[in-house]
Structure 1
């Protein structure tokens, strides 16, 4: 088995486990927060979850669009977060996979579940039982709004990510710098080579 395939499978297993854990955590938190709240507060929570998914999708796209050369110049000036930004661009595939697929997809699933809860609460408050025509109409309207905000938000986010990839990734790099220096949490070990550079050159 090729080394690249082996590494890909290894990363797939890791990301699957991380997704399982994070999905469980997010589901527990969202269920606990939504439990007992009025539909208006629930609606705000749904929109926050949607924005969370859009935010992570944006920085994921920015990582794939960013060029590491500007960060080398920043690192030469010893700006905090520049070295971490270089590592993000060099590991853009894994970083984008985590942000777009893991966090983004989890946010989409959780927002759908939360939307169903909000619709149920609103229907009860309006005096319409489960399975009524009014509940169906409310469900269609609210689900459509959430879907429109999600797709529209990600569309705007992708445009911003491509246009402002350098400052976006630099700010993420500063966050990673804080985690490494203050909390001693290392996200990337710095072993991966530059984008497009082959590990073994043919003679």
Structure 2
């Protein structure tokens, strides 16, 4: 696949995922209490962190490690090889597409949560907004830093785990 086609596919995938995640988060955020909004906020940040870790792991794993596993027909071996053959694309999708979408959505939910908390507690909206923004940023950046370190040290294990998940879900990577 040429570079332009890849860019168009990434653009389209990002657009579709953003729309889906935004619709879901808007529906959820308009109907839940502040506590549940906070839990969803944490989940979205964690999803971004996990996909960032997967992207780094796939990018740093070596294909030759899995050649014997795939040749022995161990479940997930073939899928892991597929991930690693497409490591730059997989990393881009995990880190840039999903990670960035999670970051944007967490900011949106943070804004809704700040308004919700301010309205229900009479605490100044600016104070709550600053505190939530600081929390979201530090949790996201800190979590990604920790998980990137884990991903580089355990890249083969993480990549193989993702390969096994793909095998169980019967998702093939060409």
Q: Structure 1-normalised TM-score?
A: 0.83
Larger Cα Rg: Structure 1 or Structure 2?
Answer: 1
Which segments of 5 or more consecutive residues in structure 2 lack a partner in the other structure?
Answer: none
User: Which residue in 2 is equivalent to 1:40?
Assistant: 35
Secondary structure at the counterpart of residue 2 of structure 2: helix
**Residue of structure 2 in register with 1:108 after alignment:** 103
Q: Find 1:148's aligned residue among 103, 127, 138.
A: 138
In the TM superposition, structure 1's runs of 4+ consecutive aligned residues that sit over 2 Å from their partners are none
Counting matched residue pairs gives 174
Q: Secondary structure at the match of 1:35?
A: helix
Unaligned runs of 5+ in 1: 1-5, 129-133, 190-203
Deviations 1:155-174 (CA, angstroms, capped at 9, x unpaired): 01100110000111101111
Please state how far the C-alpha of 1:127 moved relative to its aligned partner: 2.6
Greater fraction of residues in helix: 2
1:61 aligns with 2:56: yes
Higher RCO, 1 vs 2 (CA within 8 Å, ≥6 residues apart):
2
Q: Which residue of 1 aligns with 2:10?
A: 15
> 1:192 aligns to what?
none
- Listed as ranges, the matches of 1:131-170 within 5 Å are 134-170=124-160
* Aligned alpha-carbon RMSD (Å): 1.2
